[in-house]
Homo-oligomer: A and B are copies of this chain.
Amino acid sequence: MPTYKFDRFDRRILEALQTNGRLPNIDLAGDIGLSPSPCSRRVRLLEESGVIKGYSAVLDQEHVGLGLTVFVGIKVERHREKEAEAFREAVSVLPEVVMAHLVSGESDFLLQVVVPDLRAYEDFLTGTLLKLPGVRDIRSNFAIQTVKPQSPLPLAHLPG
């Protein structure tokens, strides 16, 4: 379903649930100015249509012992499609890789990697990343400070 006819209620639901995914329906309904029944219906429709892909607990990285975030740029050899797909598959199953994109520019791939510390990153880099097939170059950019943590998507372009 590529399109979805949003109105201002849907937009406010999405904004509220991005900020608090466990907001009780009764509170959500009150916040957006709707009674619980239609609010619940809308949320279900948004879930079933795939607009809401799921819900997630947001953890404090430091608290769970994950002190190091690294943004990794990877250049690869020119691949045939079959090899390229194998590379993407290999990257996407690595737990330490919490996000990965094919990008334009200097690197071919940009990965966000999360590990406990520098020692763990060293192991991951030499033991895993550098052994991926077709890797030509890896550039590691270490996060020194979080300026803005992962935040809600901007929905200002939707009706409302």
Contacts from A to B (Cβ < 8 Å):
1-2, 4, 6, 14, 17-22, 49-66, 69, 71, 88, 91-92, 95-107, 109-110, 114-116, 120, 139-158
A105 touches B139 (CB 8 A): yes
Instruction: List 10 extra interface pairs beyond A104-B141, A109-B147, A114-B154, CB under 8 A.
Output: A14-B59, A55-B57, A71-B101, A71-B103, A91-B148, A98-B148, A102-B146, A102-B147, A103-B142, A105-B142
- A98 → chain B, closest Cβ, in Å? 5
**Known contacts A88-B147, A147-B102, A148-B99, A14 near B51 by CB under 8 Å:** no
**Known contacts A21-B21, A58-B55, A114 near B63 by CB under 8 Å:** no
**Neighbouring B residues of A71 by C-beta, 8 Å:** 101, 103, 110
What 6 A-B pairs are tightest by C-beta distance, nearest first? A21-B55, A17-B57, A95-B154, A100-B147, A105-B141, A102-B145
Q: How far is the CA of A51 from the CA of B61 in the complex (A)?
A: 8
A146 touches B55 (CB 8 A): no
A59 touches B64 (CB 8 A): no
B147 touches A91 (CB 8 A): yes
Q: How far is the CA of A14 from the CA of B144 in the complex (A)?
A: 25
A14 touches B141 (CB 8 A): no
**Neighbouring B residues of A103 by C-beta, 8 Å:** 71, 141-144
- A44 → chain B, closest Cβ, in Å? 12
